């Protein structure tokens, strides 16, 4: 398992579709089988989307394992779970079906947790230094990992507010004094990775992660039909976070002025925008809401519903953005308790050095450049690496051989064939000489 993705080696046909789709060059196909280099994987799920042979899977926890002889387990609900069934999304509707499948939703804390996250982001924007602008949302864990791996210069732009899906569980534990384990409904591999290998805290507040699609399947298998639905008079603000732009609207609702923000989704767009932020092209922007999945978390590979239908459902919600005086009072108290804060600084993820000592690493780098110079530089992918440079690096790291390159192999074979031909000619002379 690499973060949120599991490789089913027996199903892998070695077609190399996955390596071409990986934005961080974390995927390899070696000896006809896919492998993920964990330190480079951001758990975006692009490889999974592009595998036609179902050889890649979400690394969710096994359904039976999460119950572990218990009848009921607590569940943290992701906004996208609310969009899997109804028009408009109805969080109350989910309670009955979830209880029926043995899960007790703790969605009661979601309103407060997401309100608190939006309030904390708005305060962070108001107090940020202009050189750290724009602040970048940390809600999408895949974006955070992308920044750690590819854009370490932008780490100081990450808003120091944790995902409400994490600190919401802490809040529920404080409120209810419950110590029991919690399952997170995960819309994507990055959320699964957040549980097993969190960023911004030592240990995740959730113990397990199961996909939204799995939950939707269990609920549907109990016969819950769309006919039972009653639309609520008012949608909940936190459900809006499932769709691109929802976080920005929520943050702006806490500021008594317009928020200068950019919201982008989809790996290519996020990549391009981060590059532009790095170049200083958006210094006047205050906030960036970036989501790896197209249309936001409702586009996560862990969902069952069409992202376009989910988008329409969220848009059909009538949301009250203003807060009552008592809501504000509770939020201010929680804000002062700083429960929303990242518990750990987010550090860059450096590629493993080529050698332990600097001199050794420099020597290896020289060797790598020499190997690269000999490769054809066409990045064909036939060797199972995303590029010739990645191939050269794998050779130096002992993860491959020059003959994995089909062009080098062909050259070697024709060299051997020529040598064999020469040898066989000698053999004819020997046989002829022997006859006399
Ligand atoms: S999840 Fe994303 S980063 Fe990780 S191997 Fe797949 S495509 Fe690459
Ligand atoms: S956009 Fe949402 S669903 Fe997609 S990777 Fe980020 S957190 Fe996961």
- Please say whether the beta carbons of 2 and 41 come within 8 A: yes
Higher pLDDT among residues 353 and 388, named by residue: 388
- pLDDT (average), residues 282-293: 97
Quick one: pLDDT at residue 404? Answer: 87
Among 152-161, 181-190, 374-383, the least confident range: 374-383
Q: Which residue reads 């490889």 in tokens?
A: 47
Give the alpha-carbon dihedral of 113, 119, 124, 126, to 10 degrees. 180
Identify the band that residue 431 occupies on the pLDDT scale cut at 50, 70 and 90.
low
- pLDDT (average), residues 51-64: 93
- Please say whether the beta carbons of 125 and 255 come within 8 A: yes
Q: Kindly give the number of the ligand 1 atom that is closest to the alpha carbon of 21.
A: 7
- Please say whether the beta carbons of 186 and 210 come within 8 A: yes
β pairing state of 261-265 and 287-291: parallel
Beta bridge partners of 290: 264
Please give the Cα distance from 69 to 2 (Å, whole number).
28
- % of the chain with per-residue pLDDT over 90: 61
Quick one: pLDDT at residue 428? Answer: 66
Quick one: pLDDT at residue 236? Answer: 87
Write out pLDDT tens, residues 115-129: 999 999 999 999 999
Exposure class string for 102-120: b at 16+ Cβ within 10 A, else e: ebbbbbbbbbbbbbbbbbb
- pLDDT (average), residues 146-154: 95
Quick one: pLDDT at residue 223? Answer: 76
55 lines ligand 1 (CB under 6 A): no
267 lines ligand 2 (CB under 6 A): no
- % of the chain with per-residue pLDDT over 70: 93
- Best CA proximity match to 255, nearest among 107, 88, 135: 135
Write out pLDDT tens, residues 400-410: 888 888 888 88
Contacts of 430 (CB under 8 A, 6+ apart): none
- pLDDT (average), residues 1-5: 70
Please give the Cα distance from 393 to 374 (Å, whole number).
13
- Please say whether the beta carbons of 75 and 182 come within 8 A: yes
Higher pLDDT among residues 224 and 188, named by residue: 188
Please give the Cα distance from 85 to 218 (Å, whole number).
12
Beta bridge partners of 262: 288
DSSP H or E stretch at residue 246: helix 246-252
- C-alpha 48 – ligand 1 centre gap (Å): 8
- pLDDT of 227 strictly over 50: no
Q: Which residue of 47, 145, 197, 270 sits with most ligand 1 atoms within 8 Å of its CB, as the best mutation to test the pocket?
A: 47
- Residue nearest to ligand 1 atom 3, measured at CA: 41
Among 115-119, 136-140, 428-432, the least confident range: 428-432
Quick one: pLDDT at residue 39? Answer: 87
- pLDDT (average), residues 282-292: 97
Identify the band that residue 432 occupies on the pLDDT scale cut at 50, 70 and 90.
low
Identify the band that residue 230 occupies on the pLDDT scale cut at 50, 70 and 90.
low
* Structure-token pair, residue 325: 């005086």
Contacts of 356 (CB under 8 A, 6+ apart): none
Write out pLDDT tens, residues 19-33: 989 999 999 998 889
Among 114-123, 331-340, 385-394, 417-426, the least confident range: 417-426
Quick one: pLDDT at residue 1? Answer: 39
17 lines ligand 1 (CB under 6 A): no
- pLDDT of 2 strictly over 70: no
- Please say whether the beta carbons of 403 and 412 come within 8 A: yes
pTM of the model: 0.89
Q: Which residue of 25, 45, 55 sits with most ligand 1 atoms within 8 Å of its CB, as the best mutation to test the pocket?
A: 45
Quick one: pLDDT at residue 231? Answer: 56
Please give the Cα distance from 232 to 234 (Å, whole number).
5
27 lines ligand 1 (CB under 6 A): yes
Write out pLDDT tens, residues 374-400: 888 988 888 899 999 999 998 888 888
- Residue nearest to ligand 2 atom 4, measured at CA: 293
**Between the CA of residue 100 and those of 71, 181, 218, 323, what are the distances in Å?**
10, 18, 9, 33
- Per the prediction, the chain carries an average pLDDT of 90
Among 81-90, 340-349, 369-378, the least confident range: 81-90
- Residue nearest to ligand 2 atom 6, measured at CA: 140
Identify the band that residue 232 occupies on the pLDDT scale cut at 50, 70 and 90.
low
Quick one: pLDDT at residue 357? Answer: 76
């Amino acid at each position: 398992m690499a973060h949120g993705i599991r490789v089913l080696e027996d199903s892998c046909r070695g077609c190399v579709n996955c390596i071409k789709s990986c934005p961080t060059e974390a995927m390899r196909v070696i000896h006809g089988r896919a492998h993920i280099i964990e330190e480079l994987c951001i758990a975006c799920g692009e490889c999974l989307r592009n595998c036609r042979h179902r050889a890649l899977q979400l690394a969710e926890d096994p359904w039976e394992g999460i119950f572990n002889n218990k009848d009921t387990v607590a569940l943290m609900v992701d906004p996208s779970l609310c969009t899997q069934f109804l028009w408009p999304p109805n969080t109350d509707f989910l309670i009955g079906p979830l209880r029926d499948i043995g899960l007790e939703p703790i969605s009661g804390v979601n309103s407060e947790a997401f309100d608190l996250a939006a309030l904390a982001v708005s305060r962070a924007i108001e107090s940020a230094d202009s050189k750290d602008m724009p602040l970048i949302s940390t809600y999408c864990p895949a974006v955070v990992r992308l920044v750690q791996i590819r854009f370490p210069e932008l780490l100081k732009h990450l808003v120091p507010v944790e995902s409400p899906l994490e600190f919401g569980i802490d809040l529920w534990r404080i409120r209810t004094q419950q110590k029991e384990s919690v399952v997170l409904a995960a819309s994507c591999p990055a959320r699964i990775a957040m549980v097993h290998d969190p960023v911004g805290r030592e240990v995740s507040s959730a113990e397990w992660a199961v996909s939204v699609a799995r939950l939707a399947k269990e609920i549907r298998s109990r016969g819950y039909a769309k006919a039972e639905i009653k639309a609520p008079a008012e949608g909940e603000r936190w459900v809006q976070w499932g769709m691109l732009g929802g976080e920005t609207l929520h943050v702006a609702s806490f500021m008594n002025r317009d928020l200068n923000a950019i919201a982008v989704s989809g790996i290519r767009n996020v990549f391009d925008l981060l590059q532009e932020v790095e170049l200083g092209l958006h210094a006047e922007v205050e906030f960036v809401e970036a989501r790896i999945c197209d249309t936001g978390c409702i586009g996560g590979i862990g969902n069952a519903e069409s992202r376009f239908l989910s988008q329409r459902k969220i848009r059909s919600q009538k949301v009250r953005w203003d807060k009552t005086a008592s809501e504000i009072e509770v939020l201010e108290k929680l804000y002062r308790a700083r429960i929303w804060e990242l518990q750990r600084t987010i550090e860059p993820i450096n590629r493993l050095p080529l050698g332990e000592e600097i001199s050794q690493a420099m020597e290896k780098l020289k060797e790598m450049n020499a190997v690269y110079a000999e490769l054809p530089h066409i990045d064909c992918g036939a060797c199972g690496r995303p590029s010739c440079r990645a191939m050269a690096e794998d050779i130096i790291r002992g993860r491959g051989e020059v003959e994995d390159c089909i062009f080098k192999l062909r050259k070697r074979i024709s060299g051997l064939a020529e040598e064999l031909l020469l040898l066989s000619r000698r053999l004819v002379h020997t046989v002829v000489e022997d006859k006399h």
